[in-house]
Structure 1
Amino acid sequence: MSDKKSIKKVVLAYSGGLDTSIILKWLQVTYGCEVVTFTADLGQGEELEPARRKAELLGIQQIYIEDLREEFVRDYVFPMFRANAVYEGIYLLGTSIARPLIAKRQIEIAHETGADAVCHGATGKGNDQVRFELSYYALDPNITVVAPWREWDFKSRTALIDFAEKNQILVTKDKRGDAPFSVDANLLHTSSEGKLLEDPAVEAPDYVYQRTVSPEDAPNTPEIIEVGFEKGDAVSINGERLSPATLLTTLNEYGRKHGIGRLDLVENRYVGMKSRGVYETPGGTILLQAHRGIESITLDRGAAHLKDELMPKYAELIYNGFWFSPEREMLQAAIDKSQEFVTGAVRLKLYKGSAHVVGRESPFSLYNQELVTFEEGAVAYDQHDAAGFIKLNALRLRLTGARRNKGTL
């Protein structure tokens, strides 16, 4: 537990919801310190001004509400997508990639306001506490971290509600009972976990999905879109240049319409347990397919295969909270180098939950139609050379085969 006497001012990651409002008051009561609230707009789709009003009602003087959508996509989502990062084969890391940006801005605000501590609302069972705190300490090794869920004595939802009522914190009717599941959202994805979703054998009800129509209800006619890339980052849709956040927002709308990006996953948390999550990443799912499509014609085989070997490690670093680690930055440098010629356009067919690449072109394409055609082409490829190539590659196999058969070459 943090030293109550030493904390004079704390920067709280504040959503304006019931839990962080309780945390805000708890900090004032328990630590007797000044609280600075920070509310980040990462594209979660909620009105944020109510958070300002709630903070003001609780006596907060320094209130930060910031639109970080462009920075989020440009400096966090896009670098991650250059790596084609997926955790455990399928998870697009929507929650994981948002935490380092929130943490970075909290530390910056702490320095701006003279705060000596930061506070998050993550529980003691999940990954987010790790992601926040590893980022805090990487950016300010001497910062004090307050983690209320690991410190306070509240044992139940009822106890939290009682504390809220005693301290004149508004508790709406829909917050008095247990929520059927918890939701985290940003411009990249929505995740739903807990309560009615805890049994992995039971299918999630359709109302859990908030960002996509059911694939069965999606249009019966496919839609073709074109995504343009420059040096590995998407820059346009159907020929129209868009800012990073606007581009992802537009892809989200295409994905919503066609029921793309749903995922029901049992994942391995960094803290050791398995958890079941229901995710929606509509625009990100389209973007991943498009990026792999443009890489397929612009990346050399060795570079492409090495990227695929490095990717699971890179994804794991993000999932586990090591965005600001030296090894992630080293991997990012290698990944970014690979994207030097990843420029061009990819056409995708969107249809009932799927996004398929149907065309790709680039001024830096390594695809040579004369080399691969079945017709004889006037290019520097002699099919007779393949015999020697195969024989040299077979030499070690012939040697081990001869040993196995107690013979000689």
Structure 2
Amino acid sequence: MSKINKVVLAYSGGLDTSAIIPWLKENYDCEVVAFVADVGQGEEELVGIEEKAIASGASSCYIADLKEEMVKDYIYPSLKTGAIYEGKYLLGTSMARPIIAKAQVECALEVGADALCHGCTGKGNDQVRFEGAFAALAPQLTVIAPWREWNLRSREALLDYLAERNIPCSASLEKIYSRDANAWHVSTEGGVLEDTWNAPNDLCWVWTQDPQQAPDEAETVSVLVEKGEVVAVNGEPMTPYNALNYLNQKGAEHGVGRIDIVENRLVGIKSRGCYETPGGTIMMEALRAVEQLVLDKESFEFRQTIGLKASHLIYDGRWFTPLCQSLLAAADTLAQDVTGEVVIQLYKGQATVIQKRSLNSLYSEEFATFGEDDVYDHSHAGGFIRLYSLASRIRALNKQK
């Protein structure tokens, strides 16, 4: 082990990071500072977490409230790109990692640490996301990844390790599912989901109502969008986090935002997960609806290209790269006219846009009408089509020769 004096650990209070604290002290003979990121995972996850970290051997515990910043500076910019990974995943875990890593680095620099540590396994995406951010923000700091070093390979081994050291832990031997939660989503993996032929059971969904059990009466919400950002819901101005929190509640009541997918991890392994993103689904529908009114064909096509590329960069942990920041800037430029109001109907798992309007709309009822109008001469279309299909016409004539 290289000589480490002080390390800042990304600490969640769960079994893994509780075992990591004493393991670091024993194997690196260093001081361990626990860093907790509040990204909206729920108050119950934070209750007593400082005391738990100290009891596990940490010298101190820092808790950073990142909820508002995460939504404003990470989720909203991502929304503008339209990033959806592999057609379905709204990148709930991925979008939280850059801000957690950034705040962890800031904590390490503030306390004079010479190393960073995370509890990600060697099979997942998060190890890449954290360490990619560390490399971009503080390459001088050593990174320690215990799951790639220690010989503790099971939940039972971790519990025995803590018990041998008389370190209290509320975790039990049975852990059916692996979950990650933040203000944007909740993910559930493991258990019955490891067999793709098994349908998800009720335990796979922790946030949203079963659509079949959702209210029989539809509910509508009005979403005001300014320059690609949700600024008000039902006529009430809200901060980004508060808007998301409100829409989460409404969407969850109606079973909105559930997906069950098998995705391609960056490390090459396929994994299955049930993801719940109720408020995010509503926000995404609102932005895309205003885009339909405002963006011309080529701009919308380019925005789709940005979204596809951005989804992979965000998923792969490349937020702090010039390419990702360039794509975010391009999406922000396109979003300058994406201002309007959208009414969305929530009903048994669906969020359906039923009304939309914008002062910047390129839609013209005069041009689009099937009735008689004075703004479009049908006879003009013939010349346009002849020029538009000229290459095909020349190719066919050549074949005839």
TM-score category, normalised to shorter length: over 0.9
Q: C-alpha separation between the residues in 1 aligned to 2:86 and 2:53?
A: 39
Percent sequence identity is 50
Q: Distance in 2 between matches of 1:274 and 1:11?
A: 31
Residue 33 (structure 1) aligned with residue 30 (structure 2): yes
Deviation track 1:384-404 (CA, whole Å, cap 9, x = no partner) reads 211110000111111122233
**What secondary structure sits across from 1:403 in the alignment?**
helix
Distance 1:18 1:394 in 2: 65
Shift of 1:71: 0.3
Q: Are 2:381 and 1:386 aligned?
A: yes
Instruction: Kindly indicate whether residue 395 of structure 2 is the aligned counterpart of residue 395 of structure 1.
Output: no
Distance 2:134 2:185 in 1: 23
Provide the rounded CA distance (Å) in 2 between the counterparts of 1:236 and 1:158: 48
- For residues 308-366 of structure 1, the C-alpha deviation after alignment (integer angstroms, 9 at most, x for no partner) is 12211110000010011111011111111001111110011110000011111111111
Deviation of 1:59 (Å): 4.2
Q: Determine if contact 1:258/1:350 at 8 Å carries over to the other structure.
A: yes
Aligned pair count reads: 400
**Number of the residue aligned with 2:243:** 247
| Higher mean C-alpha deviation, range 149-158 or range 117-126 | 149-158
C-alpha displacement at 1:43, in angstroms?
Answer: 0.7
Residue correspondence of structure 1 range 5-404 to structure 2 within 5 A: 5=3, 7-47=4-44, 48-172=46-170, 175-379=171-375, 381-404=376-399
Instruction: Describe the SS at the equivalent of 1:21.
Output: helix
Q: Distance in 2 between matches of 1:352 and 1:156?
A: 40
TM-score, structure 1 length as denominator? 0.96
**Which structure 2 residue ranges, 5 or more long, are not aligned?**
none
The amino acid that maps onto 1:15 is S
Runs of 4 or more above 4 Å deviation? none
Q: Would the aligned equivalents of 2:32 and 2:57 in 1 still touch at CA under 8 Å?
A: no
> Which stretch shifts more, 202-211 or 49-58?
49-58
1-side partners of 2:357 and 2:2: how far apart? Answer: 61
* SS state at 1:340 partner: helix
Unaligned runs of 5+ in 1: none
Asked if the contact 2:264/2:271 (under 8 Å) is kept, the reply is: yes
Contact 1:4 1:30 (C-alpha < 8 Å) held by counterparts:
no
Q: Distance in 2 between matches of 1:307 and 1:170?
A: 51
How many angstroms apart in 1 are the aligned matches of 2:94 and 2:240?
A: 19
CA root-mean-square deviation: 1.2
2-structure distance, mates of 1:287, 1:304? 18
Distance 1:363 1:188 in 2: 29
